[in-house]
């Protein structure tokens, strides 16, 4: 791997000024009750989950557990936590023996509350990690687990007594989001009176990505320790940094950033944006200076060390960079990294076949899907969005005072390539009989990922085709979520996150919200889960044997239960149901969507441009009758936008004036009203 020379712009995050929260955010709001984040960085168990053997429990003054030799107690922190455990232990007969007096085991799922931990390495025997042995001197001792034994994600702690021991003052020093003084002080929010599950889902996504913000030096040590675990490896070139999962892998994966990056910014504000910045800084640093390819994964992975490459994750990297640029409108950052971005797009252009204009996939590493190769539908949808979105950014940049050269020529080149790719995509891959795209030109398989990406990124050529594709995607839906054809026996919350966003993009909120309620309701309420964070994946029957035949060796204890790539509904609820979205350089759009059940929303997020807030309400409309809509918007002064209501209305006004779609200046409280509205024709 050849390193690209990259200027350090660490100060970029430090100088981005976020607007202060409004005074209203300083008082208790109804959505505060849904926030899973701890109120302190030092947390205690909230309950005893179970105990075995001779155990005495006292709550009279402080929690005290007296355990006879051979007994154990399992403590419940109530939500997913992560960091370093401390406790007071009184060992009556420890002496100077080198033998351990107790051991500690961690678990995310109630299913793996046992004498040994769940796994951070996969093995068919489901016992990779074992338990952390603790050797103490005779008498009373305050003990903290070693720094390298950092445990990034768990809800349950089991204490095994190897001799008689008295335990008090068990705490966890929270390790995630290290630059966040108040873990509950989110930059964003979402609330509706109409659907408790949707609010819970938004906050579970928010908390999941917060647990994924890692101190720079808490990556997985390689080669992996066995038995046991060690998390003292460098994750990237700077931190804190957004990683894929709390427990594991604790590494940068660009595909994950495509979902979790947006969730982190929308939910957590400046802290989320900072973690994305450091992830991108690492991708820039490890970009291949010769080819322009971005890495498949961060340096704390076996994939990175083995030289694995990915065509799709290269495109995901560019998409994450585009997102960061429009979230921040940080011209200094864009000017610094534009050469890296253009080299990344040059890599895509070189991969496009001269005859058909599509990318022939040669590096099929991806999110774990099978198949791939040829003119892969997911890859080409991602390439299309990378080319077209960055072309639009180049057009925007060409109109402002910037030192970047050749922007118009670059925009023209990328737009032309994207247009040709889209035409061939529909000619070669569209299966009209199924209303779905094929995975590639050599197979009849219709993938969930390629079709969801095609719908999300507008590879379709008409509204009727988009409508048919949205409907056809429901063929994969089962009782708890879509079964993805490209990876048998799998329900993927990552790919289903893309699908949720795709249905919203196609103007099909009923499908998007039905999928959210179905799959994310299971992820929150199944007794297998943490009840506070979102799992990496499921088997078809809803078990934790995700990827059992695809790299995880039938080790259900290995599956991560706090994985940010599963947080797509957090993005969709903020941007599509709340409706207020940054859609370009200094540009916003208000386009709220409802399935008829959601009739009022209060939503907001912060950005370096300023704070975006919206409250809207639907009145009437029962049994097909016309309804009224009213919204209050607060948008930053430095951003202009438009209002695009998804319904047919007799009259739409902004600030009392009839509105006909013209651009609106920012920096003001806007009132949007519509009357005589009727629902669309969603199936």
pLDDT at 534 over 90: yes
Least trusted range by pLDDT, from 313-317, 367-371, 401-405: 401-405
pLDDT at 436 over 80: yes
How many angstroms separate the CA atoms of 253 and 44, rounded?
A: 32
Confidence of residue 62 (pLDDT cuts 50, 70, 90): low
| pLDDT at 682 (0 to 100) | 63
| pLDDT at 8 (0 to 100) | 32
| pLDDT at 61 (0 to 100) | 61
Do 526 and 514 touch, CB atoms closer than 8 A?
no
| pLDDT at 92 (0 to 100) | 80
| pLDDT at 96 (0 to 100) | 55
Give mean pLDDT, residues 341-357.
Answer: 98
Which candidate, 196, 252, 156, places its Cα nearest to that of 565? 252
Give mean pLDDT, residues 554-583.
Answer: 99
Domains along the sequence of the chain with CATH: 42-174 (2.60.120.260), 580-677 (2.60.420.10)
Do 383 and 422 touch, CB atoms closer than 8 A?
no
Across the chain, mean pLDDT equals: 95
Give mean pLDDT, residues 434-458.
Answer: 99
How many angstroms separate the CA atoms of 484 and 488, rounded?
A: 7
Instruction: Please give the residue that has the higher pLDDT: either 665 or 504.
Output: 504
Give mean pLDDT, residues 337-349.
Answer: 99
Do 373 and 441 touch, CB atoms closer than 8 A?
no
Give mean pLDDT, residues 632-639.
Answer: 94
Tokens 């970029």 belong to residue: 12
Torsion from C-alpha of 467, 473, 478, 482, nearest 10 degrees: -130
List Cα–Cα distances, 472 to 244, 427, 444, 511, 595, in angstroms. 30, 19, 15, 11, 19
β-pairing verdict for 151-161 and 165-174: unpaired
This prediction has a pTM of 0.95
List Cα–Cα distances, 377 to 284, 343, 391, 440, in angstroms. 26, 23, 21, 6
Kindly report whether the peptide bond that precedes residue 249 is cis, defined as omega within 30 degrees of 0: yes
| pLDDT at 17 (0 to 100) | 42
pLDDT tens digits for range 20-59: 334 344 578 999 999 999 999 999 999 999 999 999 999 7
Q: Positive or negative CA dihedral for 284, 286, 291, 294?
A: negative
Give mean pLDDT, residues 266-273.
Answer: 99
| pLDDT at 98 (0 to 100) | 81
Which candidate, 344, 7, 39, 11, places its Cα nearest to that of 174? 39
């Amino acid at each position: 791997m050849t390193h690209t020379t990259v200027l350090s712009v660490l100060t970029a995050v430090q100088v981005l000024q976020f607007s202060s929260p409004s005074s209203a955010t300083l008082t208790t709001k109804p959505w505060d009750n849904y926030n899973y984040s701890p109120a302190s960085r030092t947390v205690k168990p909230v309950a005893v989950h179970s105990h075995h053997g001779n155990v005495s429990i006292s709550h009279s003054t402080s929690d005290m557990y007296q355990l006879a030799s051979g007994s154990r107690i399992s403590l419940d922190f109530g939500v997913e936590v992560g960091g370093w455990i401390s406790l007071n232990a009184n060992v009556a007969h420890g002496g100077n023996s080198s033998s351990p007096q107790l051991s500690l085991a961690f678990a995310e799922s109630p299913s793996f509350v046992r004498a040994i931990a769940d796994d951070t390495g996969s093995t068919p025997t489901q016992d990779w990690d074992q338990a952390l042995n603790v050797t103490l001197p005779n008498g009373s001792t305050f003990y903290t687990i070693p720094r390298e034994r950092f445990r990034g994600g768990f809800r349950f702690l089991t204490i095994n007594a190897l001799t008689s021991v008295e335990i008090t003052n068990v705490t966890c020093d929270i390790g995630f989001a290290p630059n966040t003084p108040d873990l509950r002080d989110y930059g964003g929010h979402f609330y509706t009176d109409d659907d408790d599950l949707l609010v819970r889902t938004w906050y579970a996504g928010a908390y999941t990505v917060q647990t994924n913000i890692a101190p720079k030096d808490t990556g997985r040590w390689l080669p992996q320790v066995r038995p046991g675990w060690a998390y003292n490896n460098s994750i990237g070139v700077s931190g804190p940094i957004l990683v894929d999962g709390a427990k594991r892998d604790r590494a940068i994966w660009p595909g994950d950033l495509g979902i979790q990056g947006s969730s982190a910014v929308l939910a957590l504000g400046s802290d989320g944006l900072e973690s994305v910045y450091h992830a991108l800084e690492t991708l820039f640093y490890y970009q291949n200076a010769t080819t322009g390819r971005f890495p498949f994964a961060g340096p704390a992975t076996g994939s990175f060390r083995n030289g694995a490459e990915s065509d799709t994750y290269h495109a995901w990297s560019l998409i994450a960079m585009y997102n960061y640029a429009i979230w921040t409108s940080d011209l200094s950052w864009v000017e610094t990294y534009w050469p890296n971005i253009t080299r990344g797009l040059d890599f895509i252009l070189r991969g496009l076949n001269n005859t058909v204009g599509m990318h022939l996939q040669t590096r099929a590493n991806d999110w774990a899907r099978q198949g791939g190769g040829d003119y892969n539908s997911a890859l080409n949808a991602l390439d299309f969005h990378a080319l077209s979105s960055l072309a639009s950014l180049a057009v925007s940049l060409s109109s402002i005072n910037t030192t970047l050269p050749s922007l118009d020529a670059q925009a023209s080149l990328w737009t032309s390539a994207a247009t040709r790719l889209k035409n061939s995509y529909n000619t070669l891959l569209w299966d009209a009989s199924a209303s779905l795209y094929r995975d590639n030109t050599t197979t009849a398989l219709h993938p969930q990922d390629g079709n969801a990406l095609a719908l999300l990124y507008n590879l379709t050529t008409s509204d009727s085709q988009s409508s048919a594709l949205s409907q056809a995607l429901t063929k994969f839906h089962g009782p708890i979520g879509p079964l993805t054809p490209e990876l048998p026996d799998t329900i993927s919350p990552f790919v289903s996150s893309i699908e949720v966003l795709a249905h919203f993009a196609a103007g099909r909120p009923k499908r998007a919200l039905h999928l959210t309620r179905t799959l994310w309701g299971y992820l929150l309420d199944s007794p297998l889960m943490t009840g506070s964070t979102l799992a990496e994946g499921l088997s078809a029957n809803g078990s934790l044997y995700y990827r059992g035949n695809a790299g995880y060796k039938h080790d259900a204890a290995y599956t991560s239960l706090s994985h940010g790539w599963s947080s797509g509904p957090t993005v969709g609820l903020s941007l599509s149901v709340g409706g207020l979205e940054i859609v370009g350089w200094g540009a916003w759009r208000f386009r709220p969507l409802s399935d008829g059940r959601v009739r009022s929303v209060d939503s907001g997020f912060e950005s370096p441009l300023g704070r975006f807030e919206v409250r809207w309400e639907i009145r009437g409309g029962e049994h097909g009758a016309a309804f009224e809509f009213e919204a209050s918007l607060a948008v930053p002064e430095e951003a202009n936008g438009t209002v695009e209501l998804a319904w047919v209305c007799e009259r739409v006004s902004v600030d009392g004036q009839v509105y006909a779609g013209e651009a609106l200046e920012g920096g003001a409280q806007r009132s949007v009203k519509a009357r005589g509205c009727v629902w669309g024709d969603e199936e």
